[in-house]
Chain A
Amino acid sequence: EDQVTQSPEALRLQEGESSSLNCSYTVSGLRGLFWYRQDPGKGPEFLFTLYSAGEEKEKERLKATLTKKESFLHITAPKPEDSATYLCAVRSGNTPLVFGKGTRLSVIA
């Protein structure tokens, strides 16, 4: 059974203080790892898809990386508007997308 564990559960950063969020996964044959951002009361917003170990993708202050066991979402010089819950999900074969519980990020000005 596919499993996803995200850490930490919550993270509080000062504006400009860079950090990383972790997503550890256990799947039999990873087909894709997906990162989403979710604001309170809204649907998840797609950020990145990673397909194979060694792959990296960047968007503004965010960079996602992938190894065979985990993915990191690096946030460089965060701003208050980066405050949200960040969700990681994996898919293998024809099984449904499996989500982690998320990391709740707060960036303080």
Chain B
Amino acid sequence: KAGVTQTPRYLIKTRGQQVTLSCSPISGHRSVSWYQQTPGQGLQFLFEYFSETQRNKGNFPGRFSGRQFSNSRSEMNVSTLELGDSALYLCASSRAAQSTDTQYFGPGTRLTVL
């Protein structure tokens, strides 16, 4: 069974630009969560989607947005990029959005903002 896939794997952008990251969950999984990982802050929660509905949102500015499509694939967008947005962005999928469900992570997208 294929795992969670994320594209692109690496991105280099400049300040002020915007970026869109994509995530395809494990087949049959309907919930997708996004996290930002930096050396100083660790893994921080961004969003959680289930059946195209946002169930939870982390404490990030409105420049960070996301959505989920009917096939469970998800995208996140960051507008007006800042240097501090440089991070590893991780997507995780689970069967449903139950709090007991295990989340399985993709390889991540490494975003560098210059």
A46: B residues at CB distance < 8 A: 102-105
Q: B25 interface residue, CB < 8 Å from A?
A: no
Q: A13 interface residue, CB < 8 Å from B?
A: no
Residue of B33, B58, B90, B102 near A49 (CB, 8 A) is B102
The residues in B between 95 and 112 inclusive whose CB is less than 8 angstroms from any CB of A are 97, 99-100, 102-108, 110
Docked-complex contact B90 and A43, CB < 8 angstroms: yes
Q: A16 interface residue, CB < 8 Å from B?
A: no
B4: A residues at CB distance < 8 A: 43
The residues in A between 90 and 104 inclusive whose CB is less than 8 angstroms from any CB of B are 91-102
B43: A residues at CB distance < 8 A: 44, 87, 89, 99
The residues in A between 58 and 109 inclusive whose CB is less than 8 angstroms from any CB of B are 87, 89, 91-102
Number of A-B contacts (CB under 8 A): 58
Q: Which residue of B lies closest to A95 (CB)?
A: B56
Number of residues on chain B facing chain A (CB within 8 A): 24
A43: B residues at CB distance < 8 A: 4, 90, 92, 105-108
Q: Could you list 30 examples of A-B contacts with CB < 8 Å? A: A31-B100, A32-B102, A34-B103, A41-B88, A41-B108, A41-B110, A43-B106, A43-B107, A44-B43, A44-B90, A44-B105, A45-B105, A46-B102, A46-B103, A46-B104, A46-B105, A49-B100, A51-B100, A91-B99, A92-B99, A94-B55, A95-B56, A95-B99, A96-B45, A97-B33, A99-B35, A99-B42, A100-B42, A101-B42, A102-B42
